[in-house]
Structure 1
Amino acid sequence: MTKLNLVVVGPGLIGKEHIRLIQKNQDSCLVAIVAPDHAHNHSLAKNLNVPLFYNLTSCLDLTLVDGVLISSPNKFHAEQAKECIQRNIPVFVEKPLTSTVQEGVSLVKLAKKHGAKVLVGHHRAHSSILREAKRIIQEGRLGRLVSITGNALFYKPEEYFLAGPWRTQPGGGPILINLIHEIGNLRSLCGEILAVQAFTSSSIRNFPVEDTVSINLKFENGVLGNFILSDTAACAKSWEQTSRENPAYSTYPDEDCYVISGTLGSLSIPSFRLKYYQNKAEASWWKKFQEETIDIERKDPLACQLEHFIDVINGISTPLVSAEDGLQNLKVIEAISKSAIKNSIIFLKN
């Protein structure tokens, strides 16, 4: 198979990771990067031996491209993805799909009109952890789902905010940066979210943006959930610190970030400790659970995501996380922010 010519827009932290994986993948080739006219971007392009373009239009005009990966700041996602769609070029857009729901709605309509190939960068959807958890639920081992509790508790050091001052301002808090990943997971495991109720606090860092969020969730199928998010909590209960998928983070395999409970049992994720009854007749809090820990093979979901994007470009697969899915995650995030501001329950409309 001929290698696909791929372009990365925005070679920042995650963009550099996409570049590394493209170079490592036998079916893809990096042919250009798009970034501002800064010395470090010129140096990066020189080291990669690819041209640097200051805007996507020039790049697409002058380069033979099979696919584009957009990992630029959020405010550029809509316009850059729109250009790819209009040129009939398959596009990967890092989460969030767009900065606002309004932009997302317009982009989804455009993608449908052009029959575009759009994949949204919710890389955890490609995780073997999520896939195995869904299999256990779908097999009915937990019975009918009742509830889910989740945590994303971690401590971001001061240098994180010094390196990106925008992270201290509205739009840069953990709701939009981190929680959107969790919403994708929760929807995948428990179904569509009907309503949310949220409280936020910024009492630790006193930034204009939240540092801690508490959320109640109601799913369309009757499942209830609660989730606590904080980027100022010195705690290991987060996907990054428990999943063992990213070696950049310290790992605590005895910790879990989600617990899903049903009428026959419960599953802790990602340790995959399962406590269950064989059938309804056995179910009683006076009776001992059967216990099992399930072994799974862990792979880098970012690498799996790139392989999937290549399959999407080649017409082998349809996007696992479509533009519509990315938009729905954004709608939930927006509802959570609105709930905290209005101090009320917000019902989502699909």
Structure 2
Amino acid sequence: MDKVRFGVVGAKGIGRTHMESIVSCGNAELVAVADINEAAGKEAASKYGVKWFMDYEKMLEQKDIDAVSICTPHFLHCNMALKALEYSKNVLVEKPMAITVREADKMVEKAKTTGLKLGVVFQYRTFPVNREIKRLIDGGEIGKIYRVVMEACTFRTQAYYESDAWRGKWKTEGGGALINQTIHNIDLLQWLVGPPSKLQGQIGTMYHNVEVEDIASATIRFENGAFGILQVSIVDALDTSRLEICGEKGKIESNGEHKRAIMSKPLKECIADKKVWGGRPESQWLEIKPKTEEKGGHATVIKEYCDAIIAGKEPPVNGEEGRKSIEIINAIILSSFEEKTVTFPVDRDAYDRLMRSLSEKEMRQK
């Protein structure tokens, strides 16, 4: 195999990006699209010269499809992925891979038992500057991490939520700002810093007429001992995107500009000074420059996913990796509603009970 033949389910929105990226990749080929919206499906099929299916399962029956790209509303991701795996198709699913961590568990297990490749789209990991930050951290450039702050605050109007009936509801979107807009940032946070051991979260709905959160925060303790603060929202008309990672040898800041500072001597030596109260080490700020001109994004995700299938290897972001951000998001929501610290792994039963309760409350209010 030198090309992976794709069927895309979901012809609108992010599905368009997937189709454009597939046809731009030398190791991928678009052969079919499925969408219950006849106009959207036929338009995409005509544009790319591929077959259109209204029935997703009919598309899965096609022998000339190696992988399925899932670009549908959140609540459909799990069942569509499981069905594709049953039909012996590899699966690339848009974020979030599922609404609950238990759904993600099912997807991971199914991929393992079938021996097929489950990939999740987290294009922030492909951006060259983020890969360079990852290389610096893993290489010990800033030493042991002890503190991290991430702010991911952007803006959506009420029109955004009213554009599709599934948005803004617990049962169909699975959350708000956390699971939709800032899941990329949360994935990046745990990819760079490591897995959390426990957290306390708060969520709220401040301004939008929706069930789900439009603002959230969490204090996080990571397995490596680091302390973290996460703030997210979709009510900030003036966007804020900031990442600060502090280590015992230096610091990384990313807020539009990307830079690092390395101290002249390690933090522990500075603190141990018994003569000078406020003595700080010398440091120098340096720009973080990627070693490539590539831009990253969906095309890179798809190329690397196809590379993995062709080579018989695991995708860079497989099901286990994709599940990590879902578990953090579930933990923040569970912590907020139960008003307590949540430890990892997240209690699947407790979270499922919470989701059932929120969905039933939604139905009673209709």
TM-score greater than 0.5 by the shorter chain: yes
The aligned residue for residue 61 of structure 2 is: 61
1:265 and 2:250 are equivalent in the alignment: yes
Please give the alpha-carbon distance, in whole angstroms, between the structure 2 residues aligned to 1:198 and 1:12.
34
Contact map agreement 2:7 2:65 (CA 8 A) in 1: yes
- CA drift at 1:287: 3.6
1:331 and 2:327 are equivalent in the alignment: yes
1:278 and 2:264 are equivalent in the alignment: yes
- CA drift at 1:172: 4.6
State the secondary structure of the residue aligned to 1:344: coil
Instruction: Name which of 210, 230, 237 aligns with 1:227.
Output: 230
How big is each residue's C-alpha offset from its partner over 1:204-226, in whole Å with a ceiling of 9 and x where there is no partner?
A: 22432211111111101101100
How big is each residue's C-alpha offset from its partner over 1:59-116, in whole Å with a ceiling of 9 and x where there is no partner?
A: 1223511221111112222222112222332211112222222222222222111222
- CA drift at 1:229: 0.4
Contact map agreement 2:146 2:248 (CA 8 A) in 1: yes
Task: Show structure 1 runs of 5+ residues with no match.
Answer: 239-256
Aligned CA distance change for structure 1 residues 303 and 47 (closer, same or farther; 3 Å): closer
Count of aligned positions:
332
Amino acid of the residue matched to residue 289 of structure 1? S
Please give the alpha-carbon distance, in whole angstroms, between the structure 1 residues aligned to 2:41 and 2:175.
23
Please give the alpha-carbon distance, in whole angstroms, between the structure 1 residues aligned to 2:129 and 2:287.
13
Aligned CA distance change for structure 1 residues 285 and 235 (closer, same or farther; 3 Å): farther
Please give the alpha-carbon distance, in whole angstroms, between the structure 2 residues aligned to 1:197 and 1:210.
16
Please give the alpha-carbon distance, in whole angstroms, between the structure 2 residues aligned to 1:64 and 1:36.
21
Please give the alpha-carbon distance, in whole angstroms, between the structure 2 residues aligned to 1:206 and 1:54.
33
Please give the alpha-carbon distance, in whole angstroms, between the structure 1 residues aligned to 2:316 and 2:29.
22
The aligned residue for residue 318 of structure 2 is: 322
Please give the alpha-carbon distance, in whole angstroms, between the structure 2 residues aligned to 1:4 and 1:287.
53
Bigger shift: 5-14 or 47-56? Answer: 47-56
Please give the alpha-carbon distance, in whole angstroms, between the structure 2 residues aligned to 1:206 and 1:285.
51
Aligned CA distance change for structure 1 residues 139 and 12 (closer, same or farther; 3 Å): same
Contact map agreement 2:28 2:303 (CA 8 A) in 1: no
The aligned residue for residue 286 of structure 2 is: 292
The aligned residue for residue 28 of structure 1 is: 28
Contact map agreement 1:125 1:320 (CA 8 A) in 2: no
How big is each residue's C-alpha offset from its partner over 1:224-270, in whole Å with a ceiling of 9 and x where there is no partner?
A: 100110101123323xxxxxxxxxxxxxxxxxx20100112110125
Amino acid of the residue matched to residue 245 of structure 2? I
Instruction: Name which of 210, 213, 235 aligns with 2:213.
Output: 210
The aligned residue for residue 73 of structure 2 is: 73
Bigger shift: 206-215 or 163-172? Answer: 163-172
Amino acid of the residue matched to residue 87 of structure 2? R
1:347 and 2:347 are equivalent in the alignment: no
Contact map agreement 2:6 2:67 (CA 8 A) in 1: yes
Please give the alpha-carbon distance, in whole angstroms, between the structure 2 residues aligned to 1:232 and 1:17.
26
Percent same amino acid at aligned positions? 27
Bigger shift: 149-158 or 283-292? Answer: 283-292
CA RMSD, Structure 1 to Structure 2 (Å): 2.0
The aligned residue for residue 181 of structure 1 is: 184
Contact map agreement 2:67 2:89 (CA 8 A) in 1: yes
The 5 Å alignment of 1:1-16 reads 2-16=2-16
State the secondary structure of the residue aligned to 1:314: helix
Contact map agreement 1:67 1:313 (CA 8 A) in 2: no
Task: Show structure 2 runs of 5+ residues with no match.
Answer: 272-277, 347-366
Aligned CA distance change for structure 1 residues 102 and 87 (closer, same or farther; 3 Å): same
Contact map agreement 1:199 1:213 (CA 8 A) in 2: yes
How big is each residue's C-alpha offset from its partner over 1:262-308, in whole Å with a ceiling of 9 and x where there is no partner?
A: 11211012522112213325677534322211222451321110111
Please give the alpha-carbon distance, in whole angstroms, between the structure 1 residues aligned to 2:279 and 2:9.
54
- CA drift at 1:155: 1.3
1:160 and 2:163 are equivalent in the alignment: no
Contact map agreement 2:158 2:209 (CA 8 A) in 1: no
State the secondary structure of the residue aligned to 2:311: coil
Please give the alpha-carbon distance, in whole angstroms, between the structure 2 residues aligned to 1:285 and 1:276.
16
Bigger shift: 70-79 or 213-222? Answer: 70-79
Please give the alpha-carbon distance, in whole angstroms, between the structure 2 residues aligned to 1:3 and 1:328.
29
The aligned residue for residue 363 of structure 2 is: none
How big is each residue's C-alpha offset from its partner over 1:157-194, in whole Å with a ceiling of 9 and x where there is no partner?
A: 34322312432322251111123222211111111111
State the secondary structure of the residue aligned to 1:142: coil
The aligned residue for residue 132 of structure 1 is: 132
Please give the alpha-carbon distance, in whole angstroms, between the structure 2 residues aligned to 1:109 and 1:181.
23
State the secondary structure of the residue aligned to 1:259: strand
Please give the alpha-carbon distance, in whole angstroms, between the structure 1 residues aligned to 2:99 and 2:263.
45
Please give the alpha-carbon distance, in whole angstroms, between the structure 2 residues aligned to 1:186 and 1:38.
39
How big is each residue's C-alpha offset from its partner over 1:43-71, in whole Å with a ceiling of 9 and x where there is no partner?
A: 33223322211222211223511221111
- CA drift at 1:324: 1.4
The aligned residue for residue 358 of structure 2 is: none
Contact map agreement 1:161 1:167 (CA 8 A) in 2: yes
State the secondary structure of the residue aligned to 1:167: coil
- CA drift at 1:36: 0.4
The aligned residue for residue 121 of structure 1 is: 121
Please give the alpha-carbon distance, in whole angstroms, between the structure 2 residues aligned to 1:206 and 1:70.
28
